[in-house]
């Protein structure tokens, strides 16, 4: 049973960075439609927390689909993370340089694969710098470790399961996208996709969960932002990345069993036969 806070502070990491079981993972990612000047990997290569390996969600993903960065099967996942030096017995600390995108996604991926000793660095690289933490630009030498995948299917939902939840109301479906995309008052950034939302879902923009300094909001603030936080819940977004930020927020409120709809709106709205709601929830 996962308990406690899913986050660690930069001060805690600074004190524990050299512990032999700690593995630090930089998950910095910029969505292609943002047209960022650098890729997440280039950002990591310029400066990262000492010993941090880079986890690229566009490289560690399922094949055979046009959907972006879908969760890979456990064999592929195990093979890739072993090469990063992540394995059984490690305490994994994930961070990024982009407001939990995609540190929360990697946190969720590891948990789906059965590795629950994983935390997210609150405030990311900016918090580390503010704490006076050192940086390096040399890639670490990762020692391959054994990783045993034990898939937690309850943390992952597909389209059929989400459609059933939408029709029955068995789960609260919470959408992390910006409100305009949810209501269909603003376009989707992915060409060809309509905006709108899954019928019965509610909107909680992931950006609202994050303070101006890049840290996650407090428990009391999250309670006001996340609906029915102890109810069975599925989070969704554009492509399954910021949905994990909502799952992280729910975990901070004590609900560690929130599932993520991996294909999210990109998968749902790509089929014109699926129902699309517009306007406020």
Q: What is the DSSP string of 74-87?
A: HHHHHHHHHHTT--
Q: In this model, does residue 1 exceed pLDDT 70?
A: no
Residue found under tokens 């050299």:
18
pLDDT at 130 over 80: yes
Q: Is the pLDDT of residue 247 over 90?
A: yes
- 267, two tokens: 């998968």
Question: 229 pLDDT exceeds 70?
Answer: yes
| pLDDT 10s digits, 110-129 | 999 999 999 999 999 999 99
Best CA proximity match to 174, nearest among 245, 120, 123, 113: 245
Mean pLDDT of the chain: 96
Scored b (16 or more CB within 10 A) or e, 173-197 reads bbbbbbbebbbbeeebebeebebbb
Cβ-contact 247, 260 below 8 angstroms: yes
- Residue pair 11/123 in contact (Cβ under 8 Å)? The answer is no
Q: Are 251 and 262 contacting, i.e. CB atoms less than 8 angstroms apart?
A: no
Using DSSP's 3-state secondary structure scheme, residue 145 falls into coil
Roughly what angle, to the nearest 10 degrees, separates helices 103-112 and 243-252? 70
* pLDDT beyond 90 at 2: no
pLDDT at residue 140, as a whole number: 95
Q: Which CATH class is domain 7-151?
A: alpha beta
Q: Where in the chain is the domain with CATH 3.40.250.10?
A: 7-151, 154-268
The pLDDT tens digits of the residues spanning 148-168 come to 999 999 999 999 999 999 999
Residue 279, token pair as written in the block? 């306007």
Q: What is the pLDDT of residues 45-98, one digit of tens each?
A: 999 999 999 999 999 999 999 999 999 999 999 999 999 999 999 999 999 999
| H helices present in the chain, as ranges | 10-16, 40-46, 74-83, 103-112, 124-130, 159-168, 179-183, 219-225, 243-252, 264-268
pLDDT of residue 178: 97
Residue 62 neighbours by CB under 8 Å, 6+ apart? 70, 71, 72, 73, 76
Question: Which residues are CB-contacts of 86 (< 8 A; sequence separation ≥ 6)?
Answer: 23, 25, 53, 92, 110, 115, 145, 147
pLDDT at 199: 98
pLDDT band at 132; cut points 50, 70, 90:
very high
Q: Residues 175-215: pLDDT tens digits?
A: 999 999 999 999 999 989 999 999 999 999 999 999 999 99
What are the residues whose beta carbons fall under 8 Å from the beta carbon of 216, sequence distance 6 or more?
7, 100, 122, 209, 210, 222, 248, 249, 252
Active-site annotation, residues: 237
Percent above pLDDT 90 for the chain: 94
Class of domain 154-268: alpha beta
pLDDT at 46: 97
**How far apart (Å, rounded) are the C-alpha atoms in residues 240 and 155?**
12
């Amino acid at each position: 049973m996962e308990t406690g806070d899913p986050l660690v502070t930069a001060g805690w990491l600074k004190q524990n960075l050299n512990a032999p079981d700690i593995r630090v993972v930089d998950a910095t990612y910029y969505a292609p439609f943002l047209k960022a000047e650098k890729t997440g990997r280039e950002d990591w290569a310029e400066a990262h927390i000492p010993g941090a390996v880079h986890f690229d969600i566009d490289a560690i993903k399922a094949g055979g689909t046009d959907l972006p960065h879908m969760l890979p099967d456990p064999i592929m996942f195990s093979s890739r993370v072993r090469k990063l030096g992540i394995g059984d017995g490690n305490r994994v600390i994930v961070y990024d340089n982009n407001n939990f995108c995609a540190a929360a996604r990697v946190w969720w991926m590891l948990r789906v694969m059965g590795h629950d000793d994983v935390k997210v660095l609150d405030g990311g690289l900016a918090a580390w710098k503010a704490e006076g933490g050192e940086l390096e630009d040399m890639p670490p030498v990762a020692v391959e470790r054994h990783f045993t995948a034990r898939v937690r299917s309850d943390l992952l939902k597909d389209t059929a399961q989400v459609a059933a939840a939408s029709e029955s109301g068995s789960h609260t479906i919470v959408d992390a996208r910006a409100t305009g995309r949810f209501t269909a008052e603003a376009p989707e950034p992915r060409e060809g996709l309509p905006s709108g939302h899954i019928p019965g879902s509610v909107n909680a923009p992931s950006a609202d969960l994050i303070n101006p300094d890049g840290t996650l909001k407090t428990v009391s603030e999250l309670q006001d932002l996340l609906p029915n936080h102890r109810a069975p819940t599925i989070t969704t977004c554009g492509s399954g990345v910021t949905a994990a930020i909502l799952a992280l927020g729910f975990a901070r409120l004590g609900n560690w069993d929130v599932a993520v709809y991996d294909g999210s709106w990109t998968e749902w709205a790509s089929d014109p036969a699926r129902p699309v709601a517009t306007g406020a929830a």
